[in-house]
Chain A
Amino acid sequence: GNSVTQMEGPVTLSEEAFLTINCTYTATGYPSLFWYVQYPGEGLQLLLKATKAEDKGSNKGFEATYRKETTSFHLEKGSVQVSDSAVYFCALSGAQGAQKLVFGQGTRLTINP
């Protein structure tokens, strides 16, 4: 079946550090890939997406590239801020007609000043 595996958290970094949160997936067909972010007390918000191989999604300084060969969609940011502290979810949908979003378990990120 379709699945998403994320880097175990929690992750704690200092402000201006480089961030990578790993995400790998298993899917049949050609899924779309997403990163969602959840700030405390809020719902999930779409951060970025990519719909085909080698697409790069980007938003708010975050980037992720859809790598079909390695079935990965790692999230990166060059210089994190305290306001980036949140839980990040990798997800896929559309694999072989499946309409559901399949989420990873989430990675809690804390940025210290």
Chain B
Amino acid sequence: DAGVIQSPRHEVTEMGQEVTLRCKPISGHNSLFWYRQTMMRGLELLIYFNNNVPIDDSGMPEDRFSAKMPNASFSTLKIQPSEPRDSAVYFCASRVGTNQPQHFGDGTRLSIL
């Protein structure tokens, strides 16, 4: 079974550039979550979708961040313009059912110079 697939695995770019992170959830999973992990703040939920609809985006730090889920098998997290403080590991996770565990991708390590 393929797990949650994220791309790219690593991204290094200069501040001000647009960054797009991609996620393919596990087939059949109807919920998708975007997290950010840093040493200082730990694991933070940014946004999650149910059946492709954004349910809670209260964790999105600023208007520079946006997320979309155009279909059940694909989601993007975009940062425009990027800033050095956005440097972190970004994880995508998916789940089927409310009380079922989330399955995480391997993450995208983002460095903004």
Do the two shown chains form a genuine complex with each other?
Answer: yes
Q: Could you tell me which A residues sit within 8 Å of B by CB distance?
A: 32, 34, 36, 41-46, 49, 51, 89, 93-94, 97, 99-101, 103, 105-106
> What are the residues of chain B within 8 A of A100 when measuring CB–CB?
33, 45, 48, 56
Q: B interface, how many residues as a size bin?
A: 20 to 34
B99/A101 in contact, CB under 8 A:
no
Interface residue? B42 (CB, 8 A): yes
A43/B99 in contact, CB under 8 A:
no
- C-alpha gap A27/B54 in the complex (Å): 24
Contacts across chains A and B counted by CB atoms under 8 Å:
46
State whether A51 and B99 are in contact (beta carbons under 8 Å apart), knowing that A44-B104, A45-B104, A105-B42 are contacts in the complex. Answer: yes
> What are the residues of chain B within 8 A of A44 when measuring CB–CB?
43, 91, 93, 104
- Pairs of residues from A and B, 6 with the lowest C-beta to C-beta distance, nearest first: A43-B104, A94-B99, A32-B99, A46-B101, A44-B104, A43-B106
B42/A103 in contact, CB under 8 A:
yes
- C-alpha gap A99/B50 in the complex (Å): 10
Q: Is the interface of B mostly helix, strand, loop or mixed?
A: strand
- C-alpha gap A94/B99 in the complex (Å): 5
> What are the residues of chain A within 8 A of B91 when measuring CB–CB?
43-44
B101/A34 in contact, CB under 8 A:
yes
A89/B31 in contact, CB under 8 A:
no
State whether A43 and B43 are in contact (beta carbons under 8 Å apart), knowing that A34-B101, A93-B99, A99-B98 are contacts in the complex. Answer: no
Instruction: Give the nearest-CB partner of B31 in chain A.
Output: A99
B101/A49 in contact, CB under 8 A:
yes
- C-alpha gap A99/B31 in the complex (Å): 9
Task: List, sorted by A's number, 15 A–B pairs whose CB atoms are closer than 8 Å.
Answer: A42-B107, A43-B105, A43-B106, A44-B43, A44-B91, A44-B93, A46-B102, A49-B101, A99-B55, A99-B98, A100-B33, A101-B33, A101-B102, A103-B43, A105-B42
- Which residues in chain B, 70-113, are within 8 Å of chain A measured between CB atoms? 91, 93, 98-99, 101-107
> What are the residues of chain A within 8 A of B50 when measuring CB–CB?
99
A94/B42 in contact, CB under 8 A:
no
> What are the residues of chain B within 8 A of A103 when measuring CB–CB?
42-43
Say which residue of A34, A51, A101 sits within 8 Å of B45 (CB atoms): A101
